[in-house]
Amino acid sequence: MSKKILILGNGFIGKNLYTYFISKYNTTITSKKDIDITNIESVKYYLNNKNFDYVIYAIGIKDITECEKYPDKAYSINSNGVANVIKHLNRTTKFIYISTDYVFDGNIGGYSENSISLPSTAYGQSKLVGEQYALQHNNSIVVRTSGVYGENCLWLKNLLISLSEKKETVCFSDVYNTPTYAINLAEMIDDIINTTFLGVIHLSGNTRNNRYELYSSVATIFERDRSLLSSGISNGKFPKDISLNNSLYKQITKKIPDTVINGLTRLKNEHQHIDPINIVN
């Protein structure tokens, strides 16, 4: 019998996860019209008498500026919504919370699951609280990921348009993460939920990149003029190095996540319609 999966949130990550999981399992994805996770009655009404094997919480506010300006909104969605959902899950339902590398301060990089979480942004703080709520469910996995890109990725769309229009682009050379192809993220989640693993795990790409290196790889794979790119220094708005160590995933699965080059190549080959400039918002 096919596994029943519920993906909460039809944003960028949620839609990419759905693209993968619907091809393998009985998968449902929700929008804000279906369920308001900030309203306990809405959550109760939607989840009542529904039996899912897996519930993936892909809802979130990531905009750093918006989270700093409206921290209550960030906490209501990134944190409190999680608390609302787990109150109405069956004990046998495995709950997967999509978290972030922003739970770290970015001072050293290469963070493992055992590294101390010291978020330096309201976004990261709200996601860390969401993790803590998620782990209160007896059957949960917190998935920390990093720099997810894929179909419908806005920064990638904007970069390809700029390069196609021969516009020069300044890229931060002092901001590092571990970019992750969205479909590979789904594959890694699939690998882990089919094990007995519970707890926190880092599911990220296999390349530590700064923005200049990442954008240069995009230009190479999508055959754009790399000379339009130049390196620059950030204004301190972003943590410097929130790259993740994915060794635990490798140890459990004996698999290697995609490098940036592999991920971008897969993206180009699997979604040819995104090139050159018609990526859907």
The answer to whether the beta carbons of residues 7 and 60 sit under 8 Å apart is no
- State pTM to two decimals: 0.95
Least confident of 61-70, 171-180, 218-227, 247-256: 61-70
pLDDT number for residue 280: 36
Give the helix/strand (H/E) hosting 65.
helix 64-69
Sign of the CA dihedral with 270 first, then 178, 53, and 83 last: negative
Angle between helices 182-193 and 12-21 (to 10 degrees): 60
Backbone angles phi, psi at 99, to 5 degrees: -110, -160
pLDDT in tens, 156-200: 999 999 999 999 999 999 999 999 999 999 999 999 999 999 999
Q: Quick one: tokens of 30? A: 């929700």
DSSP 137: S
The full set of domains in the chain, from first to last, is: 4-152+179-207+243-258 (3.40.50.720)
Specify the 3-state DSSP secondary structure of 273.
helix
CB 239 within 8 A of CB 105: yes
For residue 14, the one-letter residue type is G
Three-state SS for 231? strand
Residues 6+ apart with CB under 8 A from 49: none
Q: Is the pLDDT of residue 279 over 80?
A: no
Q: Mind listing the pLDDT tens digit for each residue in 58-114? A: 999 988 899 999 999 999 999 999 999 999 999 999 999 999 999 999 999 999 999
* CA–CA separation, 117 and 148 (whole Å): 20
Spatial CB neighbours of 56, under 8 Å, sequence gap ≥ 6: 5, 6, 7, 8, 14, 17, 96, 98, 189
pLDDT tier at 278 (50, 70, 90 boundaries)?
Answer: very low
What are residue 230's DSSP bridge partners? 170
Please provide the DSSP assignment of 10-53 as one string: -SHHHHHHHHHHTTTSEEEEE-TTT--TT-HHHHHHHHTT---S
CB–CB of 146/242 below 8 Å? yes
The strand pair at 140-145 and 148-149 is best described as unpaired
Average pLDDT, the chain: 94
Q: Dihedral sign, CA of 90, 96, 102, 103?
A: positive
Could you report the per-residue pLDDT of 33-50, keeping only the tens digit for each? 999 999 999 999 999 888
